[in-house]
Amino acid sequence: MNVSIHFLGAAQSVTGSKHLLHFDDFQVLMDCGLFQGLKELRLRNWNKFPMDVSQVEALVLSHAHIDHIGYLPKLVKEGFDGPVYCTSATADLARILLLDSAKLQEEEAEWAKKKGYSKHNPPKPLYTTEEAENTFRLFQPYEFDEDIYLRDDIRIKFHNAGHILGAAWVELTVQRAKQQKTIIFSGDIGRYHQPVLRDPVSMKQADILITESTYGDRDNLFEDPSEEFAQIVNEAMEREGCLLIPAFALGRTQTVMYYLKKLMETGKIPKVPVYLDSPMAINMTQLYKRHFSYHKLHDEELGQDSLFDYEFFNYYRSAAASKGINEIRRNAIIVSSSGMCTGGRILHHLYHRLPRQEDTILFVGFQAKGTRGRRILEQEETIRIFGQDVPRKLQVRKIDGLSAHADKNELLKWVGTLQEAPKRTFIVHGETESAQALQQTLTQKLGWPNVIVPDYMEQHMLFENI
């Protein structure tokens, strides 16, 4: 049997994760994400899947972020009908996230039609809510450390990656006669010593390693971001404005709420109203109560008067309530998704708050090239929202220590748990500079052989005649 890999996404970019493994004529797709950010990347979402969908036997999901699962409804629409393997928490989260993704696309198409700023007539979503719902029947959820056989000689196992609830790195083993080969796919690796999620699990052995490199070129210097977080909140309140925090509904929002409660209770920041304006984030939070084994929170932290039920936290589900937040002029914190400002209710808040120099925006997660969040972070003078160029006058801040991604040293700590260097290592899910920096570190610092940064659509042979 020959084993090869096709890199169909997240190759010298941080979105669109798709890696197709070929075991002769048996094909397994690792992740199925949407491209986000740069227009040239986003346009790939509209292209037909570059391989024969009917030949894909199974899909394995590392975790539920849209850049890892968001292409699934389109893949199913094109003809994929195989099993989708993931952890049970990922399956629950994916149902919420895919429905939200479809809804946002339907709303964007409708808004573009109403405002007339689309080149297409009529504007259409990439997929509909009904098409997203059609994917759920394919999910086959498992827990960490369970043996899952894709066929008699191919086994996978999920291990905790510490990135978001249910996130896994995937161990794939091929057993042929007396030969056994191991391929490890990192998905996204989380940080160590987080307040909510458990640390990434160590590896032992890998013939082939496929690893992310989001922060492969930098370290997050703040072990505990509390002091920096408090300083930014206090400065924002002293300006007599509001603090706007774009946060991913899954993972970052819950961590942000954890720190806000902690800082208020210890008197390090004033007790001001916090508006969580994300119905999806509210639904996500409930899943922490269902999946206790995936995090560190205790019963008392999730019950009455819990972390998420703090008296200064206000949860807004309806669009009418969300619009009311725009009337608030001072002494409030607004947390809304999406984290890269690519869609969702955060766009309405930005539309109203970008021109206000007394307001502050705080980024707590990675901002990919070409996203609205990255353009704000780079302090461009105008930001395009709903087909209009909105002047940016609000203050811009960021905290690297709240990111859900391992930094360079933490990635080295994780890969360093291998007992010996892989035969080959592929570096994915990182912008070119970040991927190449990690490549150089693994080659020069660890002395690893055959460390490769693949490009989009590259194919590599992994094993021959096993």
Give the contacts of 371 (CB within 8 A, at least 6 positions apart). Answer: 36, 37, 340, 341, 342
Considering only the C-alpha atoms of the chain, give the largest distance between any 2 of them, rounded to a whole number of Å. Answer: 70
Q: How far apart are CA 89 and CA 294, in angstroms?
A: 8
Cα 402-408-411 angle, rounded to 5 deg: 95
Q: How far apart are CA 291 and CA 250, in angstroms?
A: 14
Q: How far apart are CA 235 and CA 333, in angstroms?
A: 12
Looking at residue 309, its pLDDT comes to: 72
Q: Please state the pTM of the whole predicted model.
A: 0.85
Fold category of 3-218+404-463 in CATH: Metallo-beta-lactamase; Chain A (3.60.15)
Q: How far apart are CA 156 and CA 184, in angstroms?
A: 9
Domain with CATH 3.40.50.10890 in the chain: 226-402
Looking at residue 292, its pLDDT comes to: 73
Looking at residue 221, its pLDDT comes to: 54
Domain with CATH 3.60.15.10 in the chain: 3-218+404-463
Looking at residue 115, its pLDDT comes to: 66
Fold category of 226-402 in CATH: Rossmann fold (3.40.50)
Write out residues in the chain with pLDDT < 50, as ranges.
300, 304-305
Render pLDDT for 39-97 as a digit per residue (tens, 0 to 9). Answer: 899 999 999 999 999 999 999 999 999 999 999 999 999 999 999 999 999 999 999 99
Looking at residue 6, its pLDDT comes to: 98
Is residue 307 a contact partner of residue 259, using CB atoms and an 8 Å limit?
Answer: no
Looking at residue 299, its pLDDT comes to: 54
Residue 225 Cα distances to 217, 332, 364, 414, angstroms: 20, 20, 10, 22
Looking at residue 120, its pLDDT comes to: 67
Q: What is the DSSP string of 173-232?
A: EEEETTEEEEEEE------SS-SSBPPPPPP---SEEEEE-TTTT-----SSTHHHHHHH
